[in-house]
Amino acid sequence: MANPPSQPQPQPQQAARPRQSNLLRYFAIFILTSIILVGIAAFIIWLVVKPKHLVYTIEDASIHNFNLTNANQLYANFDIAVRARNPNSRVSVYYDKVDVFVEYEDQTLATSTVAPFFQPHKNVTRLEVKLDARSVNLYGSMPKDLGLEKSSGGIELEVWVKARIRFKVGAWKSRDRVMGIYCSPVLVHFSKSRGFERTYCDVEL
């Protein structure tokens, strides 16, 4: 009586422990199995879809009505041909918003927006983009550099494209994502007789 039954007290705890650890084990097995199944499913989907990188090149670029005023303002029209190749046999691409930029020494000279389009699988689409530079203020050494390059017969531009795209595989469509396509250097000759050399673009997705 003086000693209350304090010794048997740990028993229920000991009885509970194996059940708890069993539950934990089942839970761990469940989680692991789920991860493996999801992994296998993803691998099978990947094998079936076999995603390949989209490929972009600048096929042609020309400049017209170039005018660098005494006030260091630039007027010019650019014609840029972008080739978009989708080498995938099961993935097609929605281009929901496409903005094209022409830059010189990190300054944007002209921008243009391409109408949204859908690119089927195994497709090559050529985009003819017209961009206008209108009274663009040039700063620092830019007017001098541009003038020098102009008199040498060609200028080195950078073309980049910002595209909001979605992928389509069968009936499934991905969420939209923003893709950056960087093409540099794009060497534009003022004389038509000098051919254009294709520029390959880097893609950031």
- Options 20, 33, 34, 69; binder of ligand NAG; rule CB under 6 A: 69
CA distance 68 to 149: 12
| CA 91/CA 161 separation, integer angstroms | 21
Of residues 31 through 60, those in contact with ligand NAG by CB under 6 A are none
Closest CA to 55 of 84, 96, 82: 84
The yes or no reply on residue 120 touching ligand NAG (CB under 6 A) is yes
Q: Which of 120, 102, 202 is closest to 156 using CA atoms?
A: 102
Q: How many residues bind ligand NAG (CB under 6 A)?
A: 7
Contact (CB, 8 A) for 62 and 79: yes
Least Cα distance to 192 among 156, 154, 158 occurs for 154
Q: Which is nearer to ligand NAG, 168 or 187 (CB)?
A: 168
User: Under the criterion CB under 6 A, does residue 124 sit at the interface with ligand NAG?
Assistant: yes
CA 58 to chain centre: 16
Question: CB within 8 A of 106, min separation 6: which ones?
Answer: none
Q: Does 72 bind ligand NAG (CB under 6 A)?
A: no
- If the CB atoms of residues 17 and 134 are measured against ligand NAG, the closer one turns out to be 134
**Residue 125 binds to ligand NAG (criterion: CB under 6 A):** yes
89 is a contact residue toward ligand NAG (CB under 6 A): no
> Of the listed pieces 23-31, 67-75, 102-110, 160-168, which binds ligand NAG according to CB under 6 A?
67-75
Given 85, 123, 179, 203, the residue binding ligand NAG (CB under 6 A): 123
Can you give the binding site for ligand NAG, defined by CB under 6 A?
Answer: 67, 69, 75, 120, 123-125
